[in-house]
Amino acid sequence: MEVEKLLEEALRQKEVTRRSFLKMMAGLGLVGLAGSVGGCLRQEHVAAGGDGWLPYQYNIAGNWPSHVRGRVPIDPTNPSIVRDDRKCVLCGQCLEVCHRVQSVLGYYQLPIHDDIVCINCGQCTLACPTGAIQERDDIGKVVEALNDPDKFVVVQTAPSIRIALGEEFGMPPGTWVTGKMVAALRRLKFNAVLDTNFAADLTIMEEATELIKRIKGELPGKPLPQFTSCSPGWIKFCEYFYPDLIPHISSCKSPQQMFGATVKTYYAEQRGIDPRKIVSVSIMPCTAKKFEAQRPEMVSAREYWEKKKGSAFAKDVTRDVDVVLTTRELAKLIASRGIDFPHLPDEDFDPLMGKCTGGAIIFGASGGVMEAAIRTAYFFITGKEPPPQLLDLKPIRGLASVKEAAVDIPGAGTVRVAVCQGMAAGRQVLDIVRAGKAPWHFVEFMACPGGCESGGGQPRSSVPQANEVRAKRTATLYAADARWVWRESHENPDILKVYKDFYGHPMSELAEELLHTHYHSRAEKLTAIKPSEQKEPWQQYYPNYEARITPEI
């Protein structure tokens, strides 16, 4: 409770400066942390999906017999993806990615129970060679809001948008287009153009604090290792297949949802805007974000205003995030307005929730969330700035499907971490945790290979030769981090302001209400197959068909 006491004293003096705030956070320091187990994973530095030519880059041919190839089942009410049956050629590529990269299709018994199993990741939209599978188009909702003079439409943009949007306008993969993106959004008449990266820094403040509290044993029922919670596809995967491990998931909302809750409370109060008039729009690389925004838990702003002004007022405060567009949808909207994107001038984000650090920028790459968290956790534990090697943590960078690192912290010991991309790879780590043999304190999971920069809503130039494009996008994110003024989330002046003026300190009562959430089991929707009983998915549908052996390519 020493942090809360320091804060109360600072507030009594009505002075929370950058120095006093950071001194307060350094009070989280812990001692006696030590990692004693290692070498759990066999390190095979193979990129999730391989290096071949087919969509999603397989090195071997698909195992679906040619005359029984099919397609993934998609619920007509799926909030993330839809299929145009007129374009589907039953090539089976969506089956391959869902089974081999995401380990969803074929990992549950038939029949299913009151649910068409889907983690909403949208990787099938990238694998589909005809464009039959697309994100659900929500452009009309945004246009309607922009045309309503009574609405104040706020837009946030994820870190991965700025290194992929240019591809939709003929620019090379990985081109940094932040300034042009902001200029385009202003020409689309958004009332405020803000940055999800601000909320990424906010996430790190909360997540690093939670990690330290878990290590110190201050959060009963929340065991180690702590799992990241930024990827909604990963969260739903865990709810389906590993519900017993849900207590390991950080209670922190994703940056998208932290932003949505903050913009309809803190931002509304700071700007003097009626929260009932705010329409919160996010631009994401991820189709699963459409699903996440509709989760019943994501109405924290409404609950805040209900406590403050009553239910009659709060009933007109809509969801924390109202509409989610993918990178591809934003490109369509820009093109539909005749905006010459490549020749736009560079413009800056609006103030208050528009500043970020390099740690926030690298959220778009696999391993970026972990690296950013380690930087700030190091400061919280030691009260000192992290050494240069923690600003370039190479063991958890790159396209390897599973990565590990051990970080020595003076006076504390060794913090062991793991990073997974693609849920088939994630199963390796989850099975170790389930068996009680995990050596790690913190694990990052990203549903999509490469992380958010290769999300299901990104430009389809990601295939073929996906890894080459992923590498270029990732390199741009890390280059931006290296040149940024602030590298660590606790340095962001907008973050200091939001804690001073609104949240108080990480994991305060108000922060818990607006920035944290909970998840629930979906195991009753399916019967998961044990690894020892695993078969190819076509064998479930055609159990009497004897497969021919397919040669390696």
H runs (alpha helix) in 438-535: 466-483, 493-498, 509-515
Q: How far apart are CA 89 and CA 345, in angstroms?
A: 42
Q: What contacts 135, CB < 8 A, 6 or more positions away?
A: 80, 81, 82, 122, 125, 287, 290, 326, 328, 329, 456, 457
* 220-234 residues labelled b (16+ CB within 10 A) or e (exposed): eebebbbbbbbbbbb
Q: How far apart are CA 400 and CA 48, in angstroms?
A: 6
First vs last Cα of the chain: how many Å apart? 61
H runs (alpha helix) in 39-130: 93-96, 123-127
E strand or H helix that includes residue 143? helix 139-146
Read off the DSSP letter of residue 502.
Answer: I
Query: Hey, what are 141's tokens?
Result: 């909702």
Tell me if 194 sits within 8 A of 154, measured CB to CB.
yes
Q: How far apart are CA 225 and CA 425, in angstroms?
A: 17
Give the catalytic positions in this structure. 207, 210, 230, 250, 289, 292, 297, 452
Q: How far apart are CA 239 and CA 510, in angstroms?
A: 26
